[in-house]
Structure 1
Amino acid sequence: MTGHWRQKLAAFALALTACTGALAAEPVKTLRYIFPAAETGFDPAVARDLYTGHVTQAIFETLFTYDYLARPVLLVPHTAAALPEVSADGMTYTIRLKKGQLFAPDAAFKGRARELTMADYVYSWKRLFDPRLGSPHAGLLAGKIVGLDALAAKAKLAGRLDYDAPVAGFELIDPYTLRIHLTQTDFNLGMILAHEPTVAVAREVIEKYGDTRGAAHANPVGTGFYKLAEWVRGSRIVLERNTVHHAETWNFKGNGTPEDARIIAQMQGKSMPQVARIEISVMLEDQSRWLSFQSGAVDLFWLDGPLAPKAIVDGKLRPELAAKGVQLSRQVDPEITYYYWNLQDPVVGGFSKEKIALRRAIAIAHDVDEEISKVWNGQAQRLDYPIPPGVVGYDPAYKSMLQYDRLLANKLLDRYGYKKGKDGWRTLPDGKPLVIRYTSRNEASGVLLAEVWRKTYNAIGIQMSNERMILQDLLAGERACKIQSRNFQWAADYPDGENFMQLHYGPNVHLNNASCLADPQIDQWYAASQKMPASPERDALFHKMARRIEVLGAARIGYARIRNMLAQPSVLGYKKHPILHQEWQYIDIDAGKLPAR
């Protein structure tokens, strides 16, 4: 070889080395996110908190989901090949699965990936009725599937569920086709099957790692866009792209708004996901979260109410942040905060006239507007109706009979025997001390809520004690009917009023019925409403339920919070979705706009 060709070859090798080095050095697109409270574990049959829901939606997949940009929200296929075929009488749903979808490789599959089938969904839905799990989500399918309740009843007696027992309502036509036979018409089944407790888990994974509230939580294996790469409980979660996820291309139409047009221009035609790694930190303190976002250490940030003045003025982003390219996505969340008193508690529970009077007096003594102002800095919309805006069945004209009136509250307590002693505090009608325990979360907003509620109780001469708990313990105590009173927050699982009225349904005590209310009349109305489509007739039943909840003093409706999501200039394609917990697979990171880290 001549010297000339040696030089050319050396130059080519040098160029190739530089090229491959540059490719190797290309940074992995990473999104950094914060949870304001710790996750509770990643078994979708058991987890029920909002923050864990972010992760389970990323790892596991439902049959259906929602269009990213469509408003109002639009149900679309996810792992299903199409929306369900529904019989004329609404009693049979036929669902077909896309072929070739894979669970992420795992030791449970001998290190390989395994194809998703409809049998995985049937297995997963049966798990909701396994008495060893005590799933809070059983109510999603209870009373709806032919034969499923009978299987659940046998499992309750035996203490374990026979997963191999057939259920007539789950007819597997072939590995990719399922026909569901209902006990009655259910117009919301498609939306229920878009809710993350109905995702597919693999039986091999559950049996390998344990079907209890322990091992299965720590080893989530799904078919979703991401897989769990690292988990330090209550501190740090890392997700990485699931490389065997079926190929998808970003292709959403939007509603023709300027915001949607900008997002479409940024994202159209890209493969999903563009973000390969999600790093989540748990940070309880408001100020710490805000400083992290300001420093550029966080890409996407939920600006909760206490922090709102730092970034929001009159509902708009502060000019200095807008000038830096910070983005704001803002909406009234389809959620509700209401105040409840435990109907099974010996102090505040029961249905005697004096107990109802006590709860109603407390309800009207509380200034909801003051709470919104002091705790959430005005970032909430006061509500009278138990169904929030953005959800089918919401009635903005409804007026609650429980309106703020502390003078009337005191007269009501006087009339029903809650007398003030020499120390100024009221006693029970039998003369025993009256102390009400208000439970709140242990972060800053929980402290503020307790202060506002103490002012309410002081104004009517009732002593209040405050118990602060981490979210996981609070939820467990609530399901056991051990929490005496608190602010209860519920975000829409699906955008229909049924999802909110079920919070007051007797059979959902120990599931989602936090006040532990069991009233035969409310239960009758709710059961009747389940057989109806969204209609004036169904709305009339919801109105009756709402009014009776007030008459019993079971709860006082508070507000829906405003969601302010901040994104760094480097985040492309972001828009907060009303129902989906997170939108990570739909967005991108512009490496050229990343802040120094």
Structure 2
Amino acid sequence: MRTLWKRAALGAAATALLTLSLPAGGSAEEARNGGVLRLIAHPEPPTLMLGLNQQGPTQFVAGKIYEGLLTYGPDLQPRPHLAESWEISEDGLVYTFHLRKDVRWHDGQPFTAKDVVFSATDFLAKVHPRARGHFGRAEKIEALDDHTVRMTLKAPFAPFIMGFETSSAPMIPAHIYEGTDYQTNPANQTPIGTGPFKLAEWKRGAFIRLERNADYWQAGKPDLDGLNFVIVPDAASRALAFETGEVDVLRGGDVEYFDVQRLAASDGVTETRAGYEMLSPTMWVQFNLRSAPMDDARFRRAVMHAIDRQFIVDNLWFGFAKPSAGPIASTTPFYDEKALVTYDYDLKKAEALLDEMGLKKDANGVRTTVRFLPLPYGETYIRLGEYIRQQLEQIGIRTQTVATDHAGWAKRLGDWDYDLSLNLLYQYGDPSLGVERAYVSTNLVKGSPSANVSGLNDPEVDRLFREAAVATDRETRAALFSDLQQRISDQAYFGYLIEVQFPTLYRSGIENLVTGATGLNGEMEDVRLPKR
């Protein structure tokens, strides 16, 4: 019966993929003949308006539609993109960007300095949690002429140049959004960017089809005719679709981790773990600190003692992860293992902490009941949620699991409508860029799952982040971040679980698939398919 069901699911996926096999505009003969790269969008993104939503699935698809001023190499060094060059003043206060003069939006309008100023000071400042803090460090952002933008900071901020990749600061067309309600603008349904691909068709629940931008500013690029993202909700069917050649690429999380090694060993398949140097994702248990018992550090520490992180690495991620103990990933700058307060797997310690709180077991062995919001990113994440639930019940914490889809999870988290949740944080190359947003009280903004949704309001945490951001020498920053890691881990404000690795599998012969520090979330303008 299961085999029959899998075949039926694969048949549906294959039908959708075959529907997508022709490039936009008609027949294969009319195509540019660069071919169509076939991928999987999982889970299906809630929107492709990258300025409004920065969740992983949106970044993956919309990162080909929108662009930032810069891109970044595996060494995290900035590369020119919409800005062809830049200068930084000796005092670290003034950044001057020189924009390319031949860039047009997908609707044909020119991209100018006005769009950069509007994006940085208006649109992103209002709706983008990371960009709000980033551009909020500027005293003034101004257009010197149509193709020159000057950003003057209030104080030196060493990682400022790291905040211009596409998901951190997507450029937004001023002529479409200026003076409108950004959340309800009809253009959100048909996103307009400057990227190498344009939205051609989105059939909800089935596929997203992007077509080549023939007027792209990089001459002769992209080589591909288009990108087809099929939506297949079942991991087994996604694995079969790759095995049978219906899709060309699998990214981390598309299939079960126990399938990755098997598929990677297949003839004509290449595996890489490169491409996520900037993101370095960390998985955690998120506590809503606004209400009891989550507001008590003893409860949070008890939860951490109840979870075996090595079990998660070995049996759920099958080695494609490592245990995590603090807010800064071990793959990014300023990680300090010695500063971390760790919580070994010990159910007796967990129960002792709950007893100390006065949370006694009732006749059914239940101390308290909490609403638990798992992360609906696929089967592995669902099993992680089930494991967490089972472990908490062993120490008398009953969970009421709130089952949602991806959009529902984001809404509940952004509305602070949960007790415990699971979340995945991207680091973005520096703690002041990717980490700070989830911790500081200045980002207690309702409505976004990427802001400070836990309710953390610790003046000492705020101070350490604030001083580390403006410190001008690395040693001072390192010392402040060490103190920060010690305080946050000691208070167990978050329940750190694992640092996740995202292996990419693809057909051997595909060129330039992963070239930058954001992996498959990049623009893909240089990707080439093997000749068939």
The one-letter code matched in structure 1 to 2:76 is: V
Correspondence for 2:283 among 337, 343, 360: 337
Correspondence for 1:482 among 405, 414, 417: 417
Structure 1 equivalent of residue 7 of structure 2: none
Counting matched residue pairs gives 496
Contact 2:239 2:255 in 1 (8 A): no
Structure 1 equivalent of residue 88 of structure 2: 86
Structure 1 equivalent of residue 369 of structure 2: 435
Contact 1:60 1:223 in 2 (8 A): yes
Question: How far apart, in 2, do the equivalents of 1:274 and 1:402 lie?
Answer: 50
SS in 1 for 2:495: strand
2:526 equivalent to 1:586: yes
The one-letter code matched in structure 2 to 1:118 is: A
Question: How far apart, in 1, do the equivalents of 2:33 and 2:249 lie?
Answer: 19
Alignment TM-score, normalising by the size of structure 2: 0.87
Correspondence for 2:269 among 316, 326, 332: 326
Alignment of 1:380-459 (within 5 A): 380-426=321-367, 434-442=368-376, 443-459=378-394
SS in 2 for 1:571: coil
Question: How far apart, in 1, do the equivalents of 2:496 and 2:180 lie?
Answer: 42
2:117 equivalent to 1:174: no
RMSD: 2.5
**Offset of 1:553 from its aligned partner?**
2.6
Structure 1 equivalent of residue 213 of structure 2: 242
Question: How far apart, in 2, do the equivalents of 1:25 and 1:223 lie?
Answer: 21
Contact 2:125 2:131 in 1 (8 A): no
SS in 2 for 1:559: strand
Q: Which has the larger radius of gyration?
A: 1
Contact 2:69 2:82 in 1 (8 A): yes
2:160 equivalent to 1:189: yes
**Offset of 1:570 from its aligned partner?**
4.6
Contact 1:31 1:299 in 2 (8 A): yes
2:293 equivalent to 1:348: yes
The one-letter code matched in structure 2 to 1:32 is: R
Question: How far apart, in 1, do the equivalents of 2:212 and 2:53 lie?
Answer: 22
* CA shift digits 1:452-500 (9 cap, x unpaired): 11221122122122112112221222122222112210123x3112222
Question: How far apart, in 2, do the equivalents of 1:274 and 1:213 lie?
Answer: 34
**Offset of 1:403 from its aligned partner?**
2.5
The one-letter code matched in structure 1 to 2:183 is: T
Structure 2 equivalent of residue 575 of structure 1: 514
Structure 2 equivalent of residue 218 of structure 1: 189
Q: Structure 1 stretch 277-286 or stretch 300-309: which is displaced more?
A: 300-309
2:463 equivalent to 1:527: no
**Offset of 1:79 from its aligned partner?**
1.1
Contact 1:117 1:176 in 2 (8 A): yes
Question: How far apart, in 1, do the equivalents of 2:122 and 2:45 lie?
Answer: 21
Correspondence for 1:96 among 92, 95, 98: 98
The one-letter code matched in structure 2 to 1:478 is: L
Question: How far apart, in 2, do the equivalents of 1:326 and 1:192 lie?
Answer: 34
**Offset of 1:309 from its aligned partner?**
2.6
Question: How far apart, in 2, do the equivalents of 1:317 and 1:445 lie?
Answer: 18
2:303 equivalent to 1:357: no
Structure 2 equivalent of residue 317 of structure 1: 264
**Offset of 1:304 from its aligned partner?**
2.8
2:69 equivalent to 1:122: no
Contact 1:380 1:562 in 2 (8 A): yes
Name structure 1 gaps, 5 residues minimum. Answer: 1-20, 107-112, 147-168, 249-270, 427-433, 593-597
Contact 2:300 2:495 in 1 (8 A): no
2:274 equivalent to 1:274: no
Q: Percent identity?
A: 23
Contact 1:231 1:237 in 2 (8 A): yes
Structure 2 equivalent of residue 472 of structure 1: 407
Would the alpha carbon gap of residues 459 and 24 (structure 1) be closer, same or farther in structure 2, given more than 3 Å must change? closer
Would the alpha carbon gap of residues 533 and 348 (structure 1) be closer, same or farther in structure 2, given more than 3 Å must change? farther
Would the alpha carbon gap of residues 176 and 590 (structure 1) be closer, same or farther in structure 2, given more than 3 Å must change? same
Structure 2 equivalent of residue 256 of structure 1: none
Contact 1:522 1:545 in 2 (8 A): yes
Contact 1:100 1:246 in 2 (8 A): yes
Structure 1 equivalent of residue 316 of structure 2: 375
SS in 1 for 2:403: strand
Structure 2 equivalent of residue 151 of structure 1: none
SS in 2 for 1:381: strand
Alignment of 1:34-45 (within 5 A): 34-45=40-51
The one-letter code matched in structure 1 to 2:423 is: F
Question: How far apart, in 2, do the equivalents of 1:275 and 1:437 lie?
Answer: 46
Question: How far apart, in 1, do the equivalents of 2:69 and 2:46 lie?
Answer: 24
**Offset of 1:400 from its aligned partner?**
2.7
**Offset of 1:341 from its aligned partner?**
0.9
**Offset of 1:515 from its aligned partner?**
1.8
Q: Structure 1 stretch 23-32 or stretch 478-487: which is displaced more?
A: 23-32
Question: How far apart, in 2, do the equivalents of 1:395 and 1:549 lie?
Answer: 13
Question: How far apart, in 1, do the equivalents of 2:437 and 2:306 lie?
Answer: 26
Question: How far apart, in 1, do the equivalents of 2:241 and 2:155 lie?
Answer: 51
**Offset of 1:527 from its aligned partner?**
0.7
SS in 2 for 1:59: coil
2:138 equivalent to 1:145: yes
Question: How far apart, in 2, do the equivalents of 1:89 and 1:419 lie?
Answer: 59
Contact 1:59 1:223 in 2 (8 A): yes
Structure 2 equivalent of residue 548 of structure 1: 487
Question: How far apart, in 1, do the equivalents of 2:325 and 2:529 lie?
Answer: 41
SS in 2 for 1:198: coil
Question: How far apart, in 2, do the equivalents of 1:337 and 1:305 lie?
Answer: 17
Contact 1:30 1:279 in 2 (8 A): yes
The one-letter code matched in structure 2 to 1:347 is: A
Would the alpha carbon gap of residues 325 and 130 (structure 1) be closer, same or farther in structure 2, given more than 3 Å must change? closer
* CA shift digits 1:361-403 (9 cap, x unpaired): 1111111112223322232111223211332222355543322
* CA shift digits 1:99-122 (9 cap, x unpaired): 121112x3xxxxxx2221111111
SS in 2 for 1:558: strand
Question: How far apart, in 2, do the equivalents of 1:118 and 1:86 lie?
Answer: 18
Contact 1:402 1:550 in 2 (8 A): no
SS in 1 for 2:268: coil
Would the alpha carbon gap of residues 305 and 403 (structure 1) be closer, same or farther in structure 2, given more than 3 Å must change? farther
Would the alpha carbon gap of residues 303 and 526 (structure 1) be closer, same or farther in structure 2, given more than 3 Å must change? closer
Alignment TM-score, normalising by the size of structure 1: 0.78
**Offset of 1:234 from its aligned partner?**
4.3
Would the alpha carbon gap of residues 138 and 190 (structure 1) be closer, same or farther in structure 2, given more than 3 Å must change? closer
Question: How far apart, in 2, do the equivalents of 1:209 and 1:276 lie?
Answer: 33
SS in 1 for 2:470: coil
The one-letter code matched in structure 2 to 1:584 is: M
SS in 2 for 1:378: coil
The one-letter code matched in structure 1 to 2:264 is: L
2:54 equivalent to 1:55: no
Question: How far apart, in 1, do the equivalents of 2:54 and 2:268 lie?
Answer: 35
**Offset of 1:235 from its aligned partner?**
3.2
Question: How far apart, in 1, do the equivalents of 2:455 and 2:204 lie?
Answer: 30
**Offset of 1:189 from its aligned partner?**
1.9
Contact 2:287 2:419 in 1 (8 A): yes
Question: How far apart, in 2, do the equivalents of 1:197 and 1:303 lie?
Answer: 21
**Offset of 1:203 from its aligned partner?**
2.2
Question: How far apart, in 2, do the equivalents of 1:505 and 1:280 lie?
Answer: 36
Contact 1:363 1:555 in 2 (8 A): no
Question: How far apart, in 1, do the equivalents of 2:196 and 2:179 lie?
Answer: 23
SS in 1 for 2:508: coil
SS in 2 for 1:128: helix
The one-letter code matched in structure 2 to 1:342 is: N
2:238 equivalent to 1:289: yes
Contact 2:199 2:211 in 1 (8 A): yes
**Offset of 1:80 from its aligned partner?**
0.9
